[in-house]
Amino acid sequence: MISGWQARRGFTLVELLLSLVVSAIIGAALIRMVLAQGRFMDQQESWRQARSVSRSGINRLLSDLRAVENGTAPMATGGLVAAAAGGQDFTIRVPYAFGVICGNATNVYTFSLLPADSAMYAETGHSGFAVRSKTGVYSYHGSQIPTLGGTPALCLNGVYDSIHTLPTLNGSPAGRVVNAQRTANGSIAPAPDRGSIVLLYRRVRYEFKASGTLPGRIGLWRTRLTTNTTEELATPFDATARVNFYVGNSAVAQAAVPADLSTVRGLELVLNGASDRAPIGTAAPKTANITTSVFFENRPD
């Protein structure tokens, strides 16, 4: 005799419906969990993109600003050359090599330079040189591109007062002797003393303006003005990205551009980066608010 449970085949309709309902509930829960996890990961990726943009801007700006020097009132002859209202456009003189002056012959000045980063030294866009006076003030002079080799004889005027340039080390260039001719007529007045500190610089303009990589967004642009070579360093930035100005002895940076740029002692970098798109479930891109400050060197007052 065959019992009822042994003769049973398959499932009843009620059991099938119950299993479908349970599977649907579990599937819906899993889908909600996956969607929530996807939104979370998209939010995190957007934050990461925004922070990456800010850090890229900070790294490049600091590499240029770390050696910019102060001006001295009332002469606006320092490292900050120009700044536009809004703090989204400014021009600086960026030193890329330092040394001492050996002398001059017919307005051609010979410098003995300290070792410098070869890639930075080889970058195009040389604008001129600056010589530091006894009072600690730099005077800036436009010049032709320095010629290697220079006039070494001007650095060797005696046993005890000779200026020795570091030689080549293991096949790599160390110090350099170069000649630089002023673009303006006449000699530097008053004539700089032999052994005075000198620096070579490039005029560089930074701008927060329309991005070429992401249309409709804001990018950070760097232009070497002598050669008019422009590059977009990072994008996108939030519309609030800008620089503020530390003026005089104030510990608080101001948004307004001072009338006398020689009073600016440093810059506050407001580098608010943004993600390239709005993450899932939001209407606007994520932003990362990063603010740091850099103060100029060689403040004689």
* pLDDT digits 0-9 by tens, 74-132: 555 688 999 999 999 999 999 999 999 998 888 899 999 998 888 888 899 999 999 99
Phi, psi of 24 (to 5 degrees): -65, -40
Q: How confident is the model over 29-56, as a mean pLDDT?
A: 76
**Would you state the structure tokens that stand for residue 234, as one six-digit string?**
């990072």
pLDDT of residue 44: 73
**Would you state the structure tokens that stand for residue 296, as one six-digit string?**
């100029």
DSSP per position, 243-278: EEEEETT-SS-BSSPPS-GGGEEEEEEE--EE-SSP
The pLDDT confidence band at residue 147, using thresholds 50, 70 and 90, is: very high
Asked whether residue 37 carries a pLDDT value surpassing 90, the answer given is: no
DSSP per position, the chain: ---HHHH--S--HHHHHHHHHHHHHHHHHHHHHHHHHHHHHHHHHHHHHHHHHHHHHHHHHHHHHTT-B--BTTB--SSEEEE-TTSSEEEEEEEEEEEEEEEEETTEEEEEEPP--HHHHHSS-EEEEEEE-TTS-EEEEEBPPPEET--GGGG-S-SSS--PPP--BTTB---EEEEEEBSSSS--SSPPPTT-EEEEEEEEEEEEEE-SSSTTSEEEEEEETTTTEEEEEEEEE-TT-EEEEEETT-SS-BSSPPS-GGGEEEEEEE--EE-SSPPTT-SS--EE--EEEEE-B----
**Would you state the structure tokens that stand for residue 213, as one six-digit string?**
């990589």
Higher pLDDT pick, 263 / 281: 263
299 by Cβ neighbours in 10 Å (0-12 / 13-18 / 19+) ranks as middle
CB atoms closer than 10 angstroms to residue 238: 24
pTM for this predicted structure: 0.82
pLDDT of residue 106: 80
Asked whether residue 274 carries a pLDDT value surpassing 60, the answer given is: yes
**Cα gap 142→169, rounded to integer Å:** 31
Q: How confident is the model over 209-226, as a mean pLDDT?
A: 93
pLDDT of residue 105: 84
Q: How confident is the model over 192-206, as a mean pLDDT?
A: 93
Higher pLDDT pick, 133 / 243: 243
pLDDT of residue 278: 83
pLDDT of residue 7: 59
Q: How confident is the model over 5-22, as a mean pLDDT?
A: 73
Q: How confident is the model over 146-170, as a mean pLDDT?
A: 81
Asked whether residue 26 carries a pLDDT value surpassing 90, the answer given is: no
Q: How confident is the model over 208-222, as a mean pLDDT?
A: 93
* pLDDT digits 0-9 by tens, 227-265: 999 999 988 999 999 999 999 889 999 999 999 888 899
pLDDT of residue 160: 67
CB atoms closer than 10 angstroms to residue 36: 11
On average, the pLDDT of the chain sits at 85
Could you give the count of Cα atoms lying within 13 Å of 265 in the half-sphere of its Cβ? 12
Asked whether residue 159 carries a pLDDT value surpassing 90, the answer given is: no
User: Percent of the chain having pLDDT more than 70?
Assistant: 90
pLDDT of residue 125: 93
Highest mean pLDDT among 186-190, 259-263, 266-270: 266-270
User: Percent of the chain having pLDDT more than 90?
Assistant: 41
Q: Are strands 126-132 and 147-148 parallel, antiparallel or unpaired?
A: unpaired
Indicate the range of 129-143, 147-161, 236-250 predicted with least confidence.
Answer: 147-161
